[in-house]
Chains A and B, each alone.
Chain A
Amino acid sequence: EAGVVQSPRYKIIEKKQPVAFWCNPISGHNTLYWYRQNLGQGPELLIRYENEEAVDDSQLPKDRFSAERLKGVDSTLKIQPAELGDSAVYLCASSFPSGTRSNNEQFFGPGTRLTVL
């Protein structure tokens, strides 16, 4: 079974440029998460979707970050404009809905490693 797919795997851009990351979750997983992982730190949640609805975006810097999951399947995370401090690994994860079952493990994709110069 295919896992969470992310692209691109690596991205190098200059500051002030826009960048977008794409994620395709595991088939059947209604819940999708975007996390950011800085070097030497654990992942931090940016946004969580239940189907196409963003149910937790409290950690998303809305001045420059945006996300969408229009059809409730794949998702895009965008940064515009990028800043030096945005350099990090952006991880997408998916699971069954939070409240529906006890075993709704979050499965992570390989991440997109962003470098802003």
Chain B
Amino acid sequence: RKEVEQDPGPFNVPEGATVAFNCTYSNSASQSFFWYRQDCRKEPKLLMSVYSSGNEDGRFTAQLNRASQYISLLIRDSKLSDSATYLCVVNKIGNQGGKLIFGQGTELSVKP
């Protein structure tokens, strides 16, 4: 079993739709959690950190459930520019250093 597992995708949605990605992790000792975005043939870039209390950044909302070892990302009012692969990431330490464990990614395609 992989340490971080994500919805297989791809997700094909129309502009303006709301889309949710789910992720589970197996190591209960994981301390920090992130969503990264990776455009086609580009490098991964940090989208947002994920906190237990839930956090929001504009149209993006991230949630963490430590008891269920579950992470989610909600994108509201999808834009064409949101098309990318979204990577769920966990870390055994409480910051962004060290060994990041990436999920396989979920591809999102937003259509006009």
Contact = CB atoms under 8 A, between A and B. Distances in A.
Chain B associates with chain A? yes
10 closest residue pairs by CB, A with B: A42-B102, A98-B97, A108-B43, A104-B97, A98-B98, A105-B96, A45-B99, A41-B104, A102-B95, A42-B87
Contacts of A43: 44, 100, 102
17 contacts: A40-B104, A42-B89, A43-B44, A44-B102, A45-B99, A56-B98, A99-B93, A99-B95, A99-B97, A102-B94, A104-B96, A106-B46, A106-B97, A108-B43, A108-B45, A109-B43, A111-B43
B4 interface: yes
Interface string A58-96: 000000000000000000000000000000000100011
A45 B43 contact: no
Contacts of B97: 31, 95-99, 104, 106
Interface string A26-55: 000001000000001111110010000000
Contacts of B45: 108
Interface residues of B, number: 20
Interface of B, secondary structure class, is: loop
Interface of B: 4, 42-46, 87, 89, 93-100, 102-105
Contacts of A105: 46, 96
Contacts of B95: 98-99, 101-104
